[in-house]
């Protein structure tokens, strides 16, 4: 266990390693606790008598570690104790060194999702049953190292999308009226080859005439015209217009295939015109030309250009001819280099566009979130269709870890007596701060809001959907909230949601406290603490209504003036609440009698002084929580005079006395309608995007009135990624996976069952259900699902029709199709046979059409086509495969254009499942073509989810391309010079340049500290980080902060100090007590202390702080300890330095390193003294100790002393020694 803790950064010294014979499970632990010999480290073994030694108590608490996994399965994250409900110590527990006790611990940590965990501990004597030491409600809070910060997450560059950019500076102008054509940028020296126009001369005469003349003007040569079967193409630039009239590739036979092969093999270049292929597709078959052209360019470097016309232009249009000629000149002029030359164009609405493949950051983010169990929150819209959010806090005590999570209650059945409210405004209460700071345990944050009823339980009769209401709710920083109908009240149409949200808690608390419990009557005296706050103002209104005399306390002059002007409270009735001076003032103002009723929210000494300010028969109403949670003690003598002490927590009343809550709301609104009370002021409104600032503002205690948080349509909040729900698919539907018997198909089947599918049909040519497929079928049966395997050649229309209409007639209706059919037969196009082409193309192309037509009248939720990145890059030897895959991309656009669901995913090689994972040779071939980027099974499934949920439609127009990352192998990828990849190539080259550049880079705080080259640099790094953090937490301008001042001067209190302490632990890996932070003499001194404790700092290298010989790990300097100090900074001192060690604290001693020790005088006062020793002289007590930088060795003779250093040389003395330690004063 101790080895695990040391490795995790929480090492214990030998004295503190006191647990033995430990046994543990996930929720329980038991061990022997050995009393440590703490006196051994003290002079003469003397130790003052104490009730329980801190080292012993520390060992007692260590029983939590095996429950968290230390010594068993590992410790994923460190925890810090942040709260203890109570601790009891009985007489008779072991105190002698070496004695043993048995310690027990119990708790329910959640290691997969580390969160604050409550544990209960107790210890007995060995073999005893009575608990001698008990600790209840110990809260251990996880301390994260910052690796989960959103900024630290870098999503994998996996997904890409296709965008179309307009072509710049057209080079061909329209024909002039005189019949001549002017070319904007043609090179007169260009000598063009002959041109052959392949068309149907009978049906395309008008288009032919429009094209022929401009080409003649450009080239000076009359084009040859004819069909594919008649025209001679050798050495000519072929312009194929036939596809504009009727399809060629999709209707090829062996004869036509041979003619296409001959043209491609002999032509000097090709422009192949198609129509309606991709964007707003009406002719997806035409996109096959694009895929084929990509592979042929890769194989032969032929200038093979495709031009896709929109369907808005008629084939005979003059504009069509103009665009063909424009593309002709761009491609075949003498200045047109093959490298980076655009070879793909599309025309839409008279304008030319070219494709560019770009990084799809949104899809990458989605895939990362779906494939990582713990994705960090990132900025998202608070208002998301179909998604409800609620607030949470990752690390209690650190307000910068507030974030939002899915509210899983929304959508679940609504209890009979509850209502659901769409939240429009949330009113903040200090209870929210206590919960977020870990001072109060609660399952939710936020207790009052206003909004609109969105659902009503069956037993709620007085409310309906659409009512405007305010409520005492269980959680309020959320999209929706729920509560009992008795905790809700309608509001007038004239009342704003902001005003309404402030009413339930503060007015009902004040009313219940003053009248129900306090029995307030006319002419009684009332003391209202924090009177400028929400409850305070409500109480003032009620007291004035009842005719009571009001005394109030506030925390600032501004609040005092507010009460005087707003409510007419006399100045001599308003006192200061930041100390206990108000108690004497109350006694004086009431002539020693005290007040009849107190509404208290103060804690500690202020509570006790207030209790003493109560008159006979007085009523003390406690609305605060700190002393109650801390189980503070109350003097009982006051009860002798018929005093009453009562506490109010309206959330308890609402839950356990719903009728009282309903009556309170009714009474308050009745008084409001009669004008006796009104909503308080001022109301400070924060958008929910600034909820952290709202919390800090309330925490600072400098506001008056109420703070209200309002959600806005455009508000961005840190929220966890939305996970795909397990009911994504329907149990009463059938899902068809074409090609589903392979490894990837089986994986998709398992995923579909996890997401709710219960009827899955797998199709293959053979329909065999043996081997792994049979195992899958059996597996489905155990899950209550049915997987059926059918033989079906999807390229056969009759078989598909029969499958849909007959074979699946007994199944639930088909609601989704995944088209994963695939046949591979790689061969260079020039050597390809028509049968090879047909075998590869038909399953994808004809299969897609067959299922589209068979299911045209059936409403589908999704139709996913699994395409390939081979189509995007044009793999060599895969012209048919590329043509089929680009068809699928266009086919998806075609279905979308019809208003039908469809998505295509261009998959790169799948690394861990499926055909390529099982075929190493093929995988190597794909890697050679596409690069080393692969996609994992889980990532494929994430993309399937993106297609089904609509994320793919929103992010990339339902066409996702994967695996095109250009890394260090940029020179090895044949396709990077294709103009489509211009942006990817540019980014890759830029990244390479930045990698090799010596320009400074932004690094993290921990990295900056680790790389510091000197103590001063490390100190400045820490001080600057401290100032920046404190500035953010306290909302004090950074430029107004001075590192020479104590941190407390900026208004830091204990709650804020806890947050700062937690941040220091997390970011700087230094464990500090809150007291150390609050008592530091300056921010710079605090920085020194952090440096001395940080695990990020190499003390030996930088010379930070000092060393202490003695007990390892206890951080204390005891009598008899040898302190080795070193000069770390030069200062100038002209006066003696007083060092007072009567209280524990950091000690700074100023000496002159250049002066011999005998020149120093030490004047001590009994019972101890501080005696400098001469390094060079004999010394029986101190062994000579030398190391670089050591100036003096001092022995502290006795614990508890005070002394002064006077210097023989009263002139300017330089040098400063810092003893980075704490004195142990008994």
Q: What is the pLDDT, as a whole number, of residue 95?
A: 79
Give CATH for domain 164-359: 3.40.50
Give the whole-angstrom CA distance, residue 1023 versus residue 217: 75
Q: What is the pLDDT, as a whole number, of residue 337?
A: 75
Is residue 857 very low, low, confident or very high in pLDDT (cuts 50, 70, 90)? very high
Is residue 171 very low, low, confident or very high in pLDDT (cuts 50, 70, 90)? very low
Query: 3-class DSSP state for residue 372?
Result: coil
Burial letters 518-550, b for 16+ CB under 10 A, else e: bebeeebbbbbbbbbbbbbbbbbbbbeebebbb
Is residue 1031 very low, low, confident or very high in pLDDT (cuts 50, 70, 90)? confident
User: What average pLDDT does range 391-413 have in this prediction?
Assistant: 88
Distances 843 to 824, 914, 1183 between C-alpha atoms, Å: 11, 18, 89
3-state secondary structure 930-971: HCCCCECHHHHHHHHHHHHHCHHHHHHCCEEEECCCCCCCHH
Backbone angles phi, psi at 11, to 5 degrees: -70, 145
Backbone angles phi, psi at 531, to 5 degrees: -70, -20
- Number of Cβ within 10 Å of residue 736's Cβ equals 28
Q: Any alpha helices (H) in 1039-1111, and if so which ranges?
A: 1054-1068, 1074-1079, 1083-1093, 1099-1102
Interior CA angle at 537 toward 531 and 541, to 5°? 125
User: What average pLDDT does range 907-925 have in this prediction?
Assistant: 70
pLDDT per residue over 140-168, tens digit each? 877 654 433 433 446 789 999 999 999 97
> What's the sign of the alpha-carbon dihedral 684, 689, 693, 694?
positive
Q: What is the pLDDT, as a whole number, of residue 1037?
A: 84
DSSP, res 171: S
Contact 137, 83 (CB under 8 A): yes
Contact 184, 172 (CB under 8 A): yes
Verdict on whether the full-model pTM lies above 0.85: no
Residue whose token pair is 């142990």: 1224
User: What average pLDDT does range 1206-1222 have in this prediction?
Assistant: 32
Is the pLDDT at 1219 greater than 70, yes or no?
no
Supply 1167's token pair.
Answer: 């019972």
Distances 222 to 192, 195, 216, 219, 242 between C-alpha atoms, Å: 11, 8, 5, 8, 19
pLDDT per residue over 958-1010, tens digit each? 999 999 998 877 777 889 889 999 999 999 888 877 766 544 455 678 778 88
Give CATH for domain 2-144: 3.10.129.120
User: What average pLDDT does range 274-279 have in this prediction?
Assistant: 95
Contact 328, 239 (CB under 8 A): yes
Q: What is the pLDDT, as a whole number, of residue 758?
A: 97
Backbone angles phi, psi at 1195, to 5 degrees: -110, 130
Is the pLDDT at 1226 greater than 70, yes or no?
no
Is the pLDDT at 1127 greater than 60, yes or no?
no
Percent of the chain, pLDDT > 70?
A: 83
Query: 509-678: what fold?
Result: Rossmann fold (3.40.50)
Instruction: Tell me what the pLDDT averaged over the chain comes to.
Output: 82
More confident residue, 461 or 1127: 461
- CA-based nearest residue to 344, from 314, 308, 317: 308
* Number of residues that make up the chain: 1226
Burial letters 857-870, b for 16+ CB under 10 A, else e: eeebebbbbbbbbb
- CA-based nearest residue to 306, from 250, 354, 256, 246: 354
All CATH 1.10.1200.10 domain ranges in the chain, comma separated: 1005-1098
Give the whole-angstrom CA distance, residue 1140 versus residue 1088: 20
Is the pLDDT at 678 greater than 80, yes or no?
yes
Is the pLDDT at 656 greater than 70, yes or no?
yes
Q: What is the pLDDT, as a whole number, of residue 1161?
A: 31
Give the whole-angstrom CA distance, residue 952 versus residue 961: 11
More confident residue, 1155 or 732: 732
User: What average pLDDT does range 487-501 have in this prediction?
Assistant: 95
Interior CA angle at 1217 toward 1211 and 1222, to 5°? 130
Name the class of domain 385-501+685-710.
alpha beta
Q: What is the pLDDT, as a whole number, of residue 1003?
A: 64
Is residue 919 very low, low, confident or very high in pLDDT (cuts 50, 70, 90)? low
Is the pLDDT at 137 greater than 70, yes or no?
yes
pLDDT per residue over 98-129, tens digit each? 888 999 999 988 776 677 788 899 999 888 88
> What's the sign of the alpha-carbon dihedral 482, 487, 488, 491?
negative
Is the pLDDT at 209 greater than 80, yes or no?
yes
In this structure, whether the domain defined by 734-965 belongs to CATH 3.40.50.720 is answered with yes
Residue whose token pair is 């008592």: 1079
Supply 721's token pair.
Answer: 């990624």
Q: What is the pLDDT, as a whole number, of residue 1100?
A: 60
> What's the sign of the alpha-carbon dihedral 532, 537, 543, 544?
positive
The bridge status of strand 304-309 relative to strand 269-275 is parallel
Is the pLDDT at 1133 greater than 50, yes or no?
no
Give the whole-angstrom CA distance, residue 822 versus residue 32: 65
Name the class of domain 1005-1098.
mainly alpha
Q: What is the pLDDT, as a whole number, of residue 175?
A: 39
Give the whole-angstrom CA distance, residue 1061 versus residue 395: 12
Residue whose token pair is 């895959």: 885
Bond preceding residue 1154 cis, omega within 30 of 0: no
Query: 3-class DSSP state for residue 392?
Result: strand
- Number of Cβ within 10 Å of residue 496's Cβ equals 14
> What's the sign of the alpha-carbon dihedral 437, 439, 443, 444?
negative
Is residue 84 very low, low, confident or very high in pLDDT (cuts 50, 70, 90)? confident
Among 219-233, 1015-1029, 1114-1128, name the one with the lowest average pLDDT: 1114-1128
Beta-bridged to residue 1138, according to DSSP, are 1204
Is the pLDDT at 341 greater than 50, yes or no?
yes
- Number of Cβ within 10 Å of residue 170's Cβ equals 16
Distances 258 to 265, 465, 622, 801, 833 between C-alpha atoms, Å: 10, 70, 94, 32, 8
All CATH 3.10.129.120 domain ranges in the chain, comma separated: 2-144
Is the pLDDT at 1093 greater than 80, yes or no?
yes
All CATH 3.40.50.720 domain ranges in the chain, comma separated: 509-678, 734-965
User: What average pLDDT does range 1113-1129 have in this prediction?
Assistant: 33
DSSP, res 579: S
User: What average pLDDT does range 495-514 have in this prediction?
Assistant: 95
Burial letters 1024-1034, b for 16+ CB under 10 A, else e: bbbbebbbbbb
All CATH 3.90.180.10 domain ranges in the chain, comma separated: 385-501+685-710
Is residue 543 very low, low, confident or very high in pLDDT (cuts 50, 70, 90)? very high
Give the whole-angstrom CA distance, residue 757 versus residue 816: 10
Q: What is the pLDDT, as a whole number, of residue 297?
A: 94
pLDDT per residue over 435-479, tens digit each? 888 877 888 999 999 999 999 999 999 999 999 999 999 999 999
User: What average pLDDT does range 1064-1075 have in this prediction?
Assistant: 81
Is residue 1052 very low, low, confident or very high in pLDDT (cuts 50, 70, 90)? confident
pLDDT per residue over 216-234, tens digit each? 999 999 999 999 999 999 9
Percent of the chain, pLDDT > 90?
A: 53
Is the pLDDT at 57 greater than 60, yes or no?
yes
Among 605-619, 792-806, 1087-1101, name the one with the lowest average pLDDT: 1087-1101
């Amino acid at each position: 266990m101790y080895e695990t803790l040391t490795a995790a950064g929480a090492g214990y010294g030998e004295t503190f390693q006191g647990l033995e014979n430990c046994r543990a499970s996930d929720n329980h632990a038991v061990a022997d606790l050995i009393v440590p010999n703490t006196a051994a480290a003290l002079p003469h073994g003397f130790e003052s008598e104490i009730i329980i030694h801190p080292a012993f108590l520390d060992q007692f608490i260590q029983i939590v570690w095996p429950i968290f996994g230390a010594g068993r399965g590992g410790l994923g994250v460190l925890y810090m104790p942040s709260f203890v409900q109570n601790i009891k110590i009985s007489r008779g527990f072991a105190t002698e060194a070496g004695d043993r006790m048995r310690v027990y611990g119990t708790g329910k940590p959640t290691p997969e999702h580390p969160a604050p965990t409550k544990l209960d501990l107790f210890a007995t004597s060995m073999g005893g049953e009575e608990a001698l030491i008990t600790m209840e409600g110990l809260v251990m809070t996880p301390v994260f190292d910052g690796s989960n910060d959103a900024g630290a997450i870098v999503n994998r560059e996996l997904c890409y999308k296709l965008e179309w950019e307009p072509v710049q500076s057209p080079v061909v102008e329209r024909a002039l009226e005189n019949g001549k054509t002017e070319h904007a940028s043609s090179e007169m020296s260009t000598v063009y080859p002959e041109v052959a126009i392949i068309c149907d001369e009978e049906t395309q005469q008008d288009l032919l005439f429009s094209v022929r003349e401009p080409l003649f003007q450009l080239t000076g040569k009359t084009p040859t015209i004819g069909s594919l079967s008649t025209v001679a193409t050798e050495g000519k630039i072929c312009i194929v217009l036939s596809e504009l009239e009727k399809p060629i590739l999709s209707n090829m036979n062996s004869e036509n295939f041979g003619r296409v092969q001959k043209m491609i093999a002999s032509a000097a270049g090709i422009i192949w015109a198609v129509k309606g292929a991709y964007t707003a597709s009406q002719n997806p078959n035409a996109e096959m030309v694009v895929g084929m052209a990509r592979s042929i360019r890769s194989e032969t470097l032929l200038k093979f250009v495709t031009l896709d016309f929109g369907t808005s232009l008629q084939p005979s249009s003059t504009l069509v001819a103009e665009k063909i000629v424009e593309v002709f000149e761009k491609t075949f002029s003498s200045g047109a280099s093959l490298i980076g030359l655009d070879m793909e164009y599309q025309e839409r609405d008279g304008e030319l566009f070219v494709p560019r493949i770009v990084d799809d950051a949104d899809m990458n983010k989605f895939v990362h979130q779906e494939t990582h169990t713990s994705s960090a929150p990132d900025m998202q819209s608070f208002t998301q269709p179909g998604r409800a959010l609620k607030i949470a806090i990752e690390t209690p005590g650190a307000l910068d870890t507030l974030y939002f999570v899915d509210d899983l209650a929304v959508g679940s059945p609504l209890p009979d007596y509850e209502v659901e409210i769409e939240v429009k405004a949330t009113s903040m209460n200090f209870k929210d701060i206590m919960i977020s700071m870990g001072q109060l345990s609660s399952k939710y944050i936020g207790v009052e809001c206003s909004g609109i009823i969105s659902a009503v339980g069956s037993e709620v009769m007085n409310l309906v959907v659409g009512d405007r209401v305010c409520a005492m709710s269980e959680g309020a920083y959320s999209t929706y909230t729920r509560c009992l109908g008795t905790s809700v009240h309608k509001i007038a149409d004239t009342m704003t949601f902001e005003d309404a949200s402030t009413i339930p808690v503060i007015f009902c608390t004040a009313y219940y406290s003053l009248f129900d419990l306090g029995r307030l009557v006319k002419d009684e005296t009332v003391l209202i603490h924090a009177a400028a706050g929400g409850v305070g103002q409500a109480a003032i209104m009620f007291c004035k209504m009842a005719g009571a005399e009001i005394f109030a306390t506030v925390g600032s002059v501004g609040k005092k003036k507010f009460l005087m002007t707003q409510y007419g409270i006399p100045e001599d009735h308003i006192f200061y609440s930041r100390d206990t001076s108000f108690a004497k003032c109350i006694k004086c103002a009431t002539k020693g009698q005290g007040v009849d009723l107190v509404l208290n929210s103060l804690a500690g000494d202020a509570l006790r002084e207030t209790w003493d300010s109560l008159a006979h028969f007085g009523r003390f109403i406690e609305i605060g929580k700190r002393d109650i949670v801390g189980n503070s003690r109350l003097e009982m003598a006051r009860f002798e005079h018929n005093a009453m002490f009562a506490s109010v927590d309206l959330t308890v009343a609402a839950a356990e006395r719903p009728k009282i809550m309903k009556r309170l709301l009714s009474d308050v609104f009745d008084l409001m309608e009669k004008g006796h009370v009104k909503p308080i002021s001022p109301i400070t409104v924060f958008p929910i995007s600034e909820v952290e600032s709202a919390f800090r503002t309330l925490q600072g205690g400098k506001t008056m009135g109420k703070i209200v948080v309002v959600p806005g349509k455009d508000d961005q909040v840190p929220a966890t990624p939305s996970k795909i729900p397990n009911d994504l698919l329907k149990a009463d539907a059938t899902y068809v996976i074409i090609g589903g018997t392979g490894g990837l198909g089986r994986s998709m089947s398992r995923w579909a069952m996890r997401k709710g599918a219960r009827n899955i049909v797998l199709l293959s040519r053979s329909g065999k259900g043996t081997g792994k497929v049979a195992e899958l079928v059996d597996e489905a049966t155990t899950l209550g699902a049915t997987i059926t395997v059918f033989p079906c050649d999807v390229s056969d229309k009759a078989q598909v029709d029969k499958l849909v209409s007959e074979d699946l007639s007994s199944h639930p209706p088909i609601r989704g199709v995944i088209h994963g059919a695939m046949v591979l037969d790689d061969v260079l196009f020039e050597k390809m046979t028509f049968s090879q082409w047909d075998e590869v193309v038909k399953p994808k192309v004809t299969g897609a059409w067959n299922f589209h037509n068979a299911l045209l009248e059936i409403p589908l939720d999704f139709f996913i086509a699994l395409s390939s990145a081979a189509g995007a890059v044009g793999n060599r030897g895969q012209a048919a495969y590329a043509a089929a895959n680009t068809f699928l991309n266009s086919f998806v656009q075609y279905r979308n254009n019809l208003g039908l669901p469809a998505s295509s995913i261009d998959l790169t090689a799948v690394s861990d499942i499926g055909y390529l994972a099982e075929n190493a040779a093929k995988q190597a071939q794909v890697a050679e073509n596409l690069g080393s980027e692969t996609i994992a099974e889980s990532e494929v499934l994430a993309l399937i989810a993106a297609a089904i949920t609509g994320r793919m439609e929103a992010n990339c127009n339902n066409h996702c391309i994967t695996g095109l990352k250009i890394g260090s192998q940029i020179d090895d990828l044949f396709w990077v010079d294709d103009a489509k990849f211009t942006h990817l190539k540019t980014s890759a080259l830029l990244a390479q340049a930045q990698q090799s550049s010596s320009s400074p880079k932004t690094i993290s705080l921990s990295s900056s500290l680790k790389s510091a080259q000197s103590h001063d640099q490390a100190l400045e790094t820490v001080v600057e980080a401290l100032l920046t953090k404190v500035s953010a937490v306290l909302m004090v301008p950074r430029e107004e902060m001075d590192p020479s001042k104590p941190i407390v001067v900026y208004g830091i209190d204990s709650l804020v100090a806890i947050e700062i302490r937690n941040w220091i632990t997390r970011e700087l890996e230094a464990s500090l007590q809150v007291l150390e932070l609050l008592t530091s003499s300056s921010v710079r001194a605090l920085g020194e202390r952090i440096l001395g404790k940080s695990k990020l700092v190499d003390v030996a290298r930088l010379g930070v702080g000092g060393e202490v010989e003695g007990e390892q790990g206890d951080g204390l300097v005891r009598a008899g300890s040898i302190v080795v100090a070193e000069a770390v900074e030069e200062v100038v001192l002209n006066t003696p330095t007083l060092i007072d060690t009567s209280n524990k604290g950091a000690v700074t001693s100023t000496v002159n390193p250049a002066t011999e020790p005998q020149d120093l005088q030490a004047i001590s006062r009994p019972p101890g003294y501080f005696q400098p020793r001469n390094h060079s002289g004999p010394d029986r007590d101190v062994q000579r100790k030398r190391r670089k930088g050591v100036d003096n060795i001092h022995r502290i003779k006795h614990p508890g002393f005070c002394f002064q250093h006077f210097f023989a040389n009263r002139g300017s003395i330089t040098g400063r020694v810092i003893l980075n330690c704490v004195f142990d004063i008994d």
